[in-house]
Amino acid sequence: MKRLRVAIDQLAPRLGDIETNAATHRASILWARKQKADLLVFPELSLTGYLIMGMVARTALTSADPVLAGLAAEAGPLGVILGFVEKASDGRFYNSAAYLKDGAVRAVQRKMFLPNYGMFDEKRFFAEGDRLEPFDAPWGRTGILICYDALHPVAAYLHEQAGAQLIVTVAASPARGIGPDGSMSGREIFRSAHLAHSRLLGLPTVFVNRVGTEEGLTFWGGSQVIDPLGQSLCEMPEYESCREICEIDLEATARARTRFPHLKEGRPDFILQELWRLRMGPRLPVITPGNQPS
Amino acid sequence: MNSPRVRIDLSLDPFVAVGLIIDFLAGHFAKKGFADAVLGVSGGVDSAVGAVLAVEALGASHVKGLAMPAGSSDPASLRDAETVASAFGFELLLRPVGPVVDAFFDGSANVDRMRIGNAAARARMMRLFDYSYEHHALVIGTSNKTELLLGYGTWYGDLACSINPIGDLYKTQIWQLADFLGVPATVIHKAPSADLWPGQTDEGELGFAYEDVDQLLYLMIDGEYSFEALVDHGFSPEFIRKVVGRITSSQFKRSLPTIAKVSAKTVGIDFHLSRDWGT
């Protein structure tokens, strides 16, 4: 596959209404299949909405749930990434994204970094994922980041080191911090992170953010696809529920990496060594003049 | 000294800020199944901005303003409210609360202006929510961020509403957006007043200027400045303490009533349910 057709549904889920949201997802899957898309991406927690809070247990699905299986059946050959509350076999709940393809749930990525400051209270309701694992797809290995994950540079780096050729960030980012100059801090930080992932790791990235309101929060949308050289391939409107198709030239990755060889220099051994030293250094025996090894 | 050494630019990009609030209002009304809004229009800048935002989000024919003067209200306030309504094309209904307040206190002793002011604010709240029920219209509140933080409002009076589009805007930001939205200059430039008794002004009653307290609140609340950093920035310790005192003593106005916890899940403590559930 040389070109990847990505469909993006920048929707506003109904909070807690899985049945209605699943119907919206189904309609979108039909649309994306008609558009001959390879991959359809929904935002974070697209099946449930964001402010689940104390209703986590009532909205959680196992990865074998019939709702997901039904959507996977509708998707057929289309790859679908959607957000849901995952109930794990040990009873924990995760803010997760599922990859559906050929009639089944093929991969589940749990959110690794849960925001727990200011308006965010995710650690109260969700457990943290402990494994970033890209999945294999016909267009290449793909890593999913869930919202706040994308603001931790190491997460995108780990995906790339695991062989990801595409990074998909799904988000429920609320607008906040409007400045005098048209800036909005919620947007600026995600725009910077998304652009940095593409440019510094040399791969295409897809960022899908929801719209709509929950409580006083207004989610700003503005989904975007960026190529490995940092060029924007598709920029969706802010605050509007909409769908778009964007084509990614998969060969651009090799070209970008030829032009910018630094992209090949991930040096995981060096990073591992430095992390090990930072974590373990103080615990090693300290050699001082009075404590010389004999 | 109430003024900082260096003033922070608190202005907002008006297109971004107004666009966000209009989207928020339109989205909220749509998903709650309401087409119409009602709000008290006092003739002041806050309710004028609230009304214009509602008109932009819902259309003028879906916004009703209630002018609810009390016996002591300045007649100029009603004229300003009419100016705002005609400038933005929404209907203004005159529903005086003076007779309600008079009847309420008939025969009461020791009635001071604070009691009368609070009763007027609560009578207005009753009018608005009665209109809300009768006409299936959501009540838009227009307390700004400065008032909310300082607790400068009547509990279950003007603080009561269904939705507040301007509650995260400081007073000085309201002035800026009012100008952008085309609110008549007379409304923007007059001295802010709760208009509860003749000659009352907010700044006279509070004892400091909005221009100054907004700078302090912004650095303290949004900027997370410590007491020492605020003093370093030029605010007097007395001013800071006075404002901190107002914020802490008025927290009850920004919260549900305190409930004694007995069970495992308690309303207001650990019963975590979004009011937007199912919408």
> pLDDT per residue over A21-64, tens digit each?
999 999 999 999 999 999 999 999 999 999 999 999 999 999 99
Give how far Cα B50 sits from Cα of A207, B82, B236, Å: 34, 15, 33
pLDDT in tens, B125-182: 999 999 999 999 999 999 999 999 999 999 999 999 999 999 999 999 999 999 999 9
Sheet holding B137-139, edge to edge: B91-94, B63-67, B36-40, B137-139
Neighbour tally for B60: CB within 10 Å: 15
pLDDT in tens, A244-263: 999 999 999 999 988 887 76
A256/chain B closest Cα distance in angstroms: 35
Provide, as residue numbers in chain A, all residues whose Cβ is less than 8 Å from the Cβ of B25: none
Q: Which residue of B has its CA nearest to A121?
A: B272
Smallest Cβ distance to A17: which of B23, B168, B278?
A: B278
B152/chain A closest Cα distance in angstroms: 21
Helix axes B98-105, B113-135, angle to 10 degrees: 120
pLDDT for A141? 98
Per-residue pLDDT for A284 more than 80? Answer: no
A20/chain B closest Cα distance in angstroms: 10
Share of chain A above pLDDT 90, in %: 85
Interface test with B, best of A11, A55, A213 (most B CBs within 10 A): A213
Count CB pairs under 8 A between chains A and B: 72
pLDDT for A261? 76
CB A212 to CB B168 under 8 A?
no
Q: pLDDT band at A290, cuts 50/70/90?
A: low
Per-residue pLDDT for A286 more than 60? Answer: no
A51/chain B closest Cα distance in angstroms: 6
CB A53 to CB B272 under 8 A?
yes
CATH of the domain at A48: 3.60.110.10
Grouping H, G, I as helix, E, B as strand and the rest as coil, residue B49 is helix
Q: What is the mean pLDDT of chain B?
A: 96
pLDDT for A182? 87
- What whole-number distance in Å separates Cα of residue B45 and Cα of residue B190? 9
Per-residue pLDDT for A293 more than 60? Answer: no
Residues 6+ apart with CB under 8 A from A250: A1, A2, A3, A4, A139, A140, A165, A204
pLDDT for A94? 98
- What whole-number distance in Å separates Cα of residue A177 and Cα of residue A171? 18
Q: Which two tokens stand for residue A105?
A: 């749930």
Share of chain B above pLDDT 90, in %: 94
Interface test with B, best of A21, A45, A178 (most B CBs within 10 A): A178
Provide, as residue numbers in chain A, all residues whose Cβ is less than 8 Å from the Cβ of B14: none
Rounded-to-10 torsion of CA B40, B42, B48, B49: -70
Per-residue pLDDT for B90 more than 60? Answer: yes
B41/chain A closest Cα distance in angstroms: 23
Q: Would you list which residues of chain B are within 8 Å, Cβ to Cβ, of chain A?
A: 9, 11-13, 15-17, 19-20, 23-24, 27-28, 31, 168, 265, 270-279
Long-range Cβ contact pairs of A23-32 (< 8 A, separation 24 or more): A25/A71, A25/A80, A25/A82, A26/A70, A26/A71, A26/A74, A28/A243, A29/A71, A29/A74, A29/A75, A29/A78, A29/A80, A30/A74, A31/A7, A31/A243, A32/A7, A32/A78, A32/A80, A32/A243, A32/A245
Contact A247, A216 (CB under 8 A): no
**Residue A119 touches chain B, beta carbons under 8 Å:** no
CB B20 to CB A16 under 8 A?
no
pLDDT for A282? 63
Provide, as residue numbers in chain B, all residues whose Cβ is less than 8 Å from the Cβ of A179: 12-13
pLDDT in tens, A160-200: 999 999 999 999 999 999 999 988 999 999 999 999 999 99
Domain extent at residue A8:
3-291
Per-residue pLDDT for B198 more than 80? Answer: yes
Q: Which residue of A has its CA nearest to B224?
A: A118
Q: What is the DSSP string of chain A?
A: --EEEEEEEE----TT-HHHHHHHHHHHHHHHHHTT-SEEE--TTTTT-S--GGGHHHH-B-TT-HHHHHHHHHHTTSEEEEEEEEE-TTS-EEEEEEEEETTEEEEEEE-SS---STT--HHHH-PPP-----B--TT--EEEEEGGGGGSHHHHHHHHHTT-SEEEEEE-PBP--B-TTS-BHHHHHHHHHHHHHHHHHTS-EEEEE-EEEETTEEEEB--EEE-TTS-EEEEPPBS--EEEEEEEETTHHHHHHHH-GGGG---HHHHHHHHHHHHHGGGSPP--GGG---
**Residue A118 touches chain B, beta carbons under 8 Å:** no
B7/chain A closest Cα distance in angstroms: 14
Q: pLDDT band at A279, cuts 50/70/90?
A: confident
Q: Regarding the domain delimited by B14-254, which CATH topology (the fold level of the hierarchy) does it fall under?
A: Rossmann fold (3.40.50)
Q: Which residue of A has its CA nearest to B19?
A: A239
**Residue A13 touches chain B, beta carbons under 8 Å:** no
Token pair 């799904």: residue? A170
pLDDT for A71? 98
Per-residue pLDDT for B243 more than 70? Answer: yes
Total residue length of chain A: 294
pLDDT for A24? 98
Q: Which residue of A has its CA nearest to B20?
A: A218
CB A16 to CB B23 under 8 A?
no
Per-residue pLDDT for B237 more than 60? Answer: yes
Per-residue pLDDT for B79 more than 70? Answer: yes
Smallest Cβ distance to B275: which of A181, A215, A239?
A: A215
A259: phi then psi, degrees, rounded to nearest 5: -70, -35
CB A216 to CB B24 under 8 A?
yes
Number of domains in chain A: 1
End-to-end CA, chain B: 49
Provide, as residue numbers in chain B, all residues whose Cβ is less than 8 Å from the Cβ of A239: 19-20, 23
Provide, as residue numbers in chain A, all residues whose Cβ is less than 8 Å from the Cβ of B271: 54
Provide, as residue numbers in chain B, all residues whose Cβ is less than 8 Å from the Cβ of A15: 274, 276-279
Contact B144, B179 (CB under 8 A): no
Q: pLDDT band at A1, cuts 50/70/90?
A: confident
Provide, as residue numbers in chain A, all residues whose Cβ is less than 8 Å from the Cβ of B267: none
Q: Which two tokens stand for residue A106?
A: 């093929």
| Mean pLDDT to the nearest integer, A108-118 | 96
